[in-house]
A and B are shown apart, each in its own frame.
Chain A
Amino acid sequence: MNITTRFAVWLHEFKARIQPNTRLFKLIRKAEYRLGTALSLEDIRSIVELFRELESPITFRYLTVFLSVGLASIVWIILIAVNMADAHGWVGQKLPSPYFVLQDAILVCVTVSAASVVFRLRSHRRAFDALSSDLHRRYAYLLHGIKTAPVKDDLAGLAKHFAEFRRGDTGRVLSNKVVGSYQGDTHKLSFTYYRFRYVKCTSDGENTSKQEYERFALINEFPPVGNVLIRGDHRAQPKVIVITLFGDDSGIEREPKKQVPERYTSSSSAFNKRFNIFGSTKIACARLLKPITTLTLLEKTASLERLNMQFADERLCMSFDNKDMLHFTTYTTLHNPEAMLEEMQGGIDNYRIPLLEHYLKLNHRLACQHDDNFSLPSDKPA
């Protein structure tokens, strides 16, 4: 076998070794595109099935990285050795100055190309990991009948009714929106989940600093109970809440006497210790805070930090600091498509969203406590 043939064989083997990276990357791009248009569970599973054709466990090959970094290192070592020899006079004559220009150019080229190979592979690996979680997320959302939606200009409408969305003084923005519906025994409740960010300015006389805060809100339909705010976020001063409960820009027509919300205390000291209650009228608060409602809210909302609940506009807005309302746990990735498909086939039991499910169930329970028992959607549970 002559040298040309040997080189051709080596090149072929080399290409075969680095080809899986190219194939995997092409598959990732294809999967990302298909995920964007996927509408059903089948669609998602078919995307995972694309990866079955690759040898499991699927990983990126690091051969090109090793080669490029190794080559760059060898070049660096050689050039450093040449420079040292030149500096110590080991070589008979001094190297000409154009050599150093050429040397710098070679160093830059070799380093940049090695770095680009490393970073490109890293970004591909990240895309691969992100794709696994995106597939799981879409699958979980489809199973639970929820989907992301554009935020549009929701903030103005929300701020009109809910004090939570009038927080901040220099900036407010809704960054995420997820919509869905919950089918309980009696009611079907449509819900929306928002991620809300606002900026507050604080001044110590000389300097003004801006602080950014993040809040999350779960809003769902609720029987009409008047406008009542149950505040567990004690960062906000009562005065601020009093002003912002309805707000001057609310546009709600009210009798002049009812401009300022009334403070109410429930019959449970434990509830009063945890929450402050404000409402359009004390009667509205008293009607809402039946003993069963008081007890339910006290016992079932402990997992939410700085929880505020506002009942207004025939909706309930629960706002809190917890970031993990939509969190679910999965155990597989695209590294093993077979296992991932098996987990997906397990259905909703493998994709529980515990916090969301708990609070939707709670809100349904609260809605049942305040609905009209004589005009329910159906006589028999669905």
Chain B
Amino acid sequence: MTTTLFILILLIILGITTIGVYNRIIATANAAQRAWADVLAYERQKTKTLEALTEQADAFKEHEHHLMTELTQLRESIAALPESPNGGTLKPVETMSQQVVDRVKLAVEAYPELRSSNVVTGFMREISEQQANVGAAINVFNSEVERFNNSIQFFLAAQVNNLMLHKERIVPFSDSEAASGFEYQPNF
């Protein structure tokens, strides 16, 4: 009788723990998905702002053909980003995006009539803000990815995930170029 009761209590505890762990994995996966959606949304918004800027400034169209081509490529790359979270796929988009923004800044600097235009200045501010938002969204995404990866790798959570959910570890966004610039290299 005592053994049966003991096993019953153990099963109840195990059941409650499993439900808790299962729900936590789902919650963290959804949080990572939402953070990824934010990254995509702000990336797309940035491209739209860049397009709006180039539409405003005729000088871009006349003299900066490369810029228009790069902008199209960037739009296509962002459109090709997967809907499921994956920080690894962001790397080329971020590099390209940085190049386009730098080129736009250079072009604005090169044409005094652009520099003096209030609309163009407004767009430039908007682009800087969008970039900051993308950076912050990636930051939030990485911390949500960390929480999710922890939730599927910790003891018990890993077992629940392997048995019931089969969720894969999400790759966080990392900038290998920036990391290579550091003298210190972590040993993992």
Contacts and interface: CB of A to CB of B under 8 A. Distances in A.
Interface string A280-298: 0000000000111011100
B31 A292 contact: no
Contact of A269 (B123, B136, B137, B147): B147
B38 A291 contact: yes
B50 to A, nearest CB: 14
Nearest to A369: B129
Given A267-B144, A268-B35, A291-B42, A373 B125 contact: yes
A53 interface: no
Q: Which of under 10, 10 to 19, 20 to 34, or 35 or more describes the interface residues of B? A: 20 to 34
Contacts of A296: 136
Interface in A262-284: 267-270
Contacts of A292: 129, 132-133, 135-136
A376 B34 CA distance: 32
B170 interface: no
A269 B42 contact: no
A92 B137 CA distance: 102
Contact of B139 (A269, A291, A369, A375): A291
Residue from A268, A291, A296, A375 having most chain B Cβ neighbours under 10 A: A291
A349 interface: no
Interface in B74-122: 118-119, 121-122
A373 B136 contact: no
A291 B37 CA distance: 12
Residue from B118, B119, B129, B134 having most chain A Cβ neighbours under 10 A: B129
B143 interface: yes
Contacts of A374: 118-119, 122, 126
A379 interface: yes
Contacts of A295: 136, 139-140
Interface in B13-36: 28, 31, 34-35
Nearest to B118: A379
A267 B142 CA distance: 12
A294 B119 contact: no
- The SS class assigned to the B binding surface is helix
A291 B147 CA distance: 18
Interface residues of A, number: 16
B122 A268 contact: no
Contacts of B31: 267, 269
Contacts, number: 55
A267 B126 contact: no
Residue from A292, A374, A376 having most chain B Cβ neighbours under 10 A: A292
Nearest to B131: A292
Interface string A341-382: 000000000000000000000000000010001111001000
B125 A267 contact: no
Contacts of B135: 292
Interface string B153-166: 00000000000000
Given A290-B133, A292-B132, A268 B125 contact: no
Interface in A296-310: 296
A374 B122 CA distance: 5
Nearest to B141: A267
B137 A373 contact: no
A103 B144 CA distance: 85
A269 B145 CA distance: 11
B136 A290 contact: yes
A269 B42 CA distance: 19
Contact of B126 (A270, A373, A379): A373
A269 B129 contact: no
Nearest to B122: A374
Residue from A268, A369, A376, A379 having most chain B Cβ neighbours under 10 A: A268
Contact of A291 (B28, B118, B123, B140): B140
Nearest to B39: A291
B107 to A, nearest CB: 18
B140 A294 contact: yes
Contacts of B134: 291
A270 B143 contact: yes
Given A290-B133, A291-B42, A268 B140 contact: yes
Contacts of A290: 133, 136
17 contacts: A267-B38, A267-B140, A268-B35, A290-B133, A290-B136, A291-B134, A291-B136, A291-B137, A291-B140, A292-B132, A292-B135, A295-B136, A295-B139, A373-B129, A374-B126, A379-B118, A379-B121
Given A268-B143, A373-B122, 9 more contacts: A267-B37, A267-B137, A269-B31, A290-B133, A290-B136, A291-B139, A291-B140, A292-B132, A292-B133
